[in-house]
């Protein structure tokens, strides 16, 4: 893994982190694509950059808060400063909720059609998420998967959170000498799996924007596909199970899938009535 790509030789050396770089690329790509979609739909292009920037900031804050409060509260209480400013520990669902609230606020302030706008926003969101996950992979921040020796197995020993820390105190660690998982243990590169799925979801949604579909289709499809993707990948991660063998992220995924399915049904039902 390469948490720090290189240093800029000024002011004693400024490190360029792989995670930060991928976030920047995700931001620029999402902003460019959203401006294209807004222009095609006759919406305000300048609002696109504002939406992506504020969604990125609020998303990072929300994802960090969710992780600290619901996934690593004990460690946060023991090491609050280290955990707060660590590059590790960003949970997507927490970021999604706060980012969505921020987006709706911006749309209302600019008097833009909320449902149609959110449809368009969901398209680059899928790709931006996939690009961001490349940063997680390069940083080795602990959201990789279980030990694995097959195809694509990856060594995260030089990551921000190596396996000895990621699996500390878990059932998996009990299978290793002294209860410590060696840092050179190969694992599932789940961030890359999510990158692939994110690109696939983006391709489907981008294609759908060229079709005459009712408002609400893209965001409901994103909920369904994004929920299915996260639900599946979670089986390869070590996260606490909270019920019926599912993690908190999987239960949230199921809720997303349900909401997306009901939303899509309602979308086509309303569209059908309007054509009648």
pLDDT tens digits along 223-269: 999 999 999 999 999 888 888 989 888 998 999 999 999 999 999 88
DSSP SS3 for 175: helix
Contact residues for 244 (Cβ-Cβ < 8 A; gap 6+): none
| C-alpha closest to that of 218 among 198, 195, 202 | 202
In a domain, 62, yes or no: yes
How far apart, in whole angstroms, are the C-alpha atoms of residue 216 and residue 208? 12
Residue-level pLDDT at 7: 78
Residue 2 pLDDT grade (very low, low, confident, very high; cuts 50, 70, 90): confident
Is residue 10's pLDDT more than 80?
Answer: no
Q: Residue 68 has what DSSP assignment?
A: I
Q: What pLDDT, in 10s, does the model give residues 184-216? A: 999 999 999 999 999 999 999 999 999 889 999
Per cent of the chain over pLDDT 70 is: 87
Residue with tokens 């409060």: 69
88 is in which domain, residue-wise? 4-140+148-162+185-275
**CA end-to-end distance (rounded Å), the chain:** 57
Contact between 60 and 114 (Cβ < 8 Å): no
In a domain, 217, yes or no: yes
Contact residues for 151 (Cβ-Cβ < 8 A; gap 6+): none
pTM of the entire structure?
0.86
Lowest-pLDDT range, 49-58, 64-73, 182-191, 204-213?
Answer: 64-73
In a domain, 176, yes or no: no
Residue-level pLDDT at 276: 47
* Total domain count, the chain: 1
Is residue 163's pLDDT more than 70?
Answer: yes
Give Dmax over CA atoms of the chain in angstroms. Answer: 70
In a domain, 46, yes or no: yes
User: 148-180 as b/e, with b when 16 or more CB fall inside 10 Å?
Assistant: beeeeebbbeebbbbbbebbeeeebbeeeeeee
As beta bridge partners, residue 8 has: 14
In a domain, 168, yes or no: no
- Quick one: tokens of 53? 């920037």
How far apart, in whole angstroms, are the C-alpha atoms of residue 123 and residue 205? 6
Residue with tokens 């999402």: 30
In a domain, 178, yes or no: no
Residue-level pLDDT at 62: 76
Residue-level pLDDT at 73: 63
In a domain, 115, yes or no: yes
Contact between 131 and 25 (Cβ < 8 Å): yes
In a domain, 133, yes or no: yes
Residue 4 pLDDT grade (very low, low, confident, very high; cuts 50, 70, 90): confident
Q: Which residue has the higher pLDDT, 239 or 76?
A: 239
């Amino acid at each position: 893994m390469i948490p720090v790509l290189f240093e800029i030789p000024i002011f004693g050396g400024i490190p360029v982190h792989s995670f930060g770089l991928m976030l920047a690329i995700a931001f620029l790509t999402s902003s460019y694509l959203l401006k294209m979609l807004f222009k095609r739909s006759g919406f305000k292009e300048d609002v696109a950059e504002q939406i992506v920037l504020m969604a990125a900031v609020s998303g990072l804050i929300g994802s960090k808060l969710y992780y600290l409060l619901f996934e690593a509260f004990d460690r946060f209480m023991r090491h609050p400063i280290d955990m707060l400013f660590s590059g590790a520990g960003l949970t997507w669902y927490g970021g999604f909720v706060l980012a969505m609230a921020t987006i709706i606020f911006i749309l209302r302030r600019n008097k833009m059609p909320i449902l149609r706008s959110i449809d368009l926003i969901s398209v680059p969101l899928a790709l931006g998420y996939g690009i961001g996950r490349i940063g997680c992979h390069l940083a080795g921040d602990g959201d990789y998967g279980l030990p694995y020796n097959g195809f694509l197995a990856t060594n995260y020993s030089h990551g921000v959170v190596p396996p000895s820390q990621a699996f500390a105190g878990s059932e998996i660690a009990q299978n290793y000498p002294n209860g410590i998982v060696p840092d050179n243990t190969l694992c599932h590169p789940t961030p890359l799996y999510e990158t692939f799925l994110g690109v696939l979801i983006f391709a489907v949604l981008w294609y759908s924007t060229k079709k005459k579909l009712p408002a609400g289709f893209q965001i409901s499809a994103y909920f369904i596909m994004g929920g299915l993707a996260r639900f599946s990948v979670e089986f390869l991660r070590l996260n606490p199970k909270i019920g019926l063998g599912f993690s908190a992220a999987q239960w949230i995924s199921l809720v997303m899938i349900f909401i997306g399915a009901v939303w899509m049904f309602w979308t086509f039902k309303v569209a059908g009535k309007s054509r009648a």
